[in-house]
């Protein structure tokens, strides 16, 4: 799905419907609408990151506290975060919800990476 205010609103509303209370993200032009929506929502905690792997730690802490969270990043950020994904989330079966903005030669699209350790259909129903 191309990045736009309307499409970002669809994604943000879906996150809210899944009771996501914490969003972590790096400042990035393709995420600007989602970041702004989270920043302006008093019911949402936006954690601004310096590095993508910090988002894995934020989500792990949120999970341990019983709070649903999501991390927003670009596709190359996923590669930067692979070490804590494997050594923390995968090892200890911590669920992660990561939304990736993927760049290709034709357009920007969003992909949702869901952790295999959580039944998101149950949470979002």
Phi, psi for 117 (deg, rounded to 5): -100, 5
Could you tell me if 68 and 95 are in contact, meaning their C-beta atoms sit under 8 angstroms apart? no
**Domains defined along the chain, listed by start:** 5-123 (3.40.50.970)
Phi, psi for 26 (deg, rounded to 5): -90, 150
Phi, psi for 97 (deg, rounded to 5): -120, 110
* Stated pTM of the model: 0.82
Per-residue pLDDT of the chain (125 residues; tens, 9 = 90+): 566 888 889 889 999 999 999 999 998 877 889 999 999 999 999 999 999 999 999 999 999 999 999 999 887 788 888 899 889 988 998 989 988 877 664 555 555 555 554 454 554 54
């Amino acid at each position: 799905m191309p990045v736009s205010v309307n499409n970002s609103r669809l994604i943000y509303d879906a996150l809210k419907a899944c009771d996501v209370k914490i969003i972590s993200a790096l400042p990035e032009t393709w995420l600007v609408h989602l970041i702004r929506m989270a920043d302006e929502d008093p019911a949402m905690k936006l954690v601004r990151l310096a590095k993508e792997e910090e988002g894995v730690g934020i989500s792990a802490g949120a999970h341990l506290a019983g709070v649903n969270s999501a991390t927003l990043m670009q596709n190359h950020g996923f590669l930067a975060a692979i070490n804590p994904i494997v050594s923390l989330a995968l090892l200890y079966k911590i669920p992660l919800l990561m939304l990736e903005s993927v760049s290709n030669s034709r357009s920007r699209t969003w992909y949702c990476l869901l952790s295999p350790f959580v039944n998101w259909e149950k949470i979002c129903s």
